[in-house]
Structure 1
């Protein structure tokens, strides 16, 4: 049973890597990309918690007096504004009848932003059930498959 969990881990790792790298290369995620990703990991027979994080890079100008634009010091500080799974899903799956291919349903990122996906199983895997039987009780945490992966957005495709 442990081997089944190992195979599931490998399938999920490959799917997460492919999905995140596609988003980083294209600069957007679509409902079609997300659904395909979900289908790939669902093929393992497990139920997953999927967390997506988009860190939007911001450049903030530095002023001696923020109320006076002429005091700009010629420097910028960088900061990030984070958007999470719910924010991303609202763009991809709005309460409209727009088709999946619609431009309005694309969640866009910019070069220099970061995109990360973290996946963990929510169900008790077959190996966990077997351990529970052998140990005559619950083995505790269900998480056997855990995959964090992400990186910097490197491109913004128009199509």
Structure 2
């Protein structure tokens, strides 16, 4: 019995002296990654809002900031293009205009945005045809999630003898209205 207690005490000491500090260090890395992702995403979206466009260089700079965290990310862009439509009591008769408009938004995502910035041609990255342009009143947003299991998640699963299958520990959602058309 005395021998079993000694082994248990040694295992507990290893756990408390080595594993928990290692886990806390990994968690602090996740917090630092969150801060970097938040800063990079805010800077990227605010720049796009202020300029009214996204260039391949802006996208590449944003991705290089994300890669500094050591994580892999699923980045989803969303552009909501503002449209207005006049209201008529009889749509076939322009004289029946009611004097007001309906506002609606058309959504564009990575599948529509990326081919504009990265077409299948050899144009330089600073060519104006490779800009993804927006208009004042549109909304641009980003949804970002890490797709790899961070060290903190792996250590937590090891310590708890669990397999959470959780990968998302770095999350970011940021949206805003386009303020300028500086193109």
Alignment correspondent of 1:69: 94
3-state SS of paired residue (2:64): helix
Q: By percentage of residues, which structure has more helix?
A: 2
Does the 8 Å CA contact 1:49/1:120 hold for their aligned counterparts?
yes
Equivalence map 1:1-159=2 (5 Å): 1-158=26-183
Alignment correspondent of 2:21: none
Q: Which runs of 4+ in 1 moved over 2 A?
A: none
User: CA offset at residue 70 of structure 1?
Assistant: 2.2
- Measured in 2, the distance between the counterparts of 1:95 and 1:68 equals 45
- Measured in 2, the distance between the counterparts of 1:124 and 1:27 equals 35
- Measured in 2, the distance between the counterparts of 1:27 and 1:91 equals 15
Q: Number of paired residues?
A: 158
User: CA offset at residue 102 of structure 1?
Assistant: 0.7
Q: TM-score, normalized by length of structure 1?
A: 0.97
- Measured in 2, the distance between the counterparts of 1:94 and 1:137 equals 44
Runs of 5+ consecutive residues of structure 1 not aligned to the other structure: none
Does the 8 Å CA contact 2:116/2:130 hold for their aligned counterparts?
yes
Does the 8 Å CA contact 2:40/2:65 hold for their aligned counterparts?
yes
User: CA offset at residue 139 of structure 1?
Assistant: 2.1
3-state SS of paired residue (2:119): coil
Q: TM-score, normalized by length of structure 2?
A: 0.84
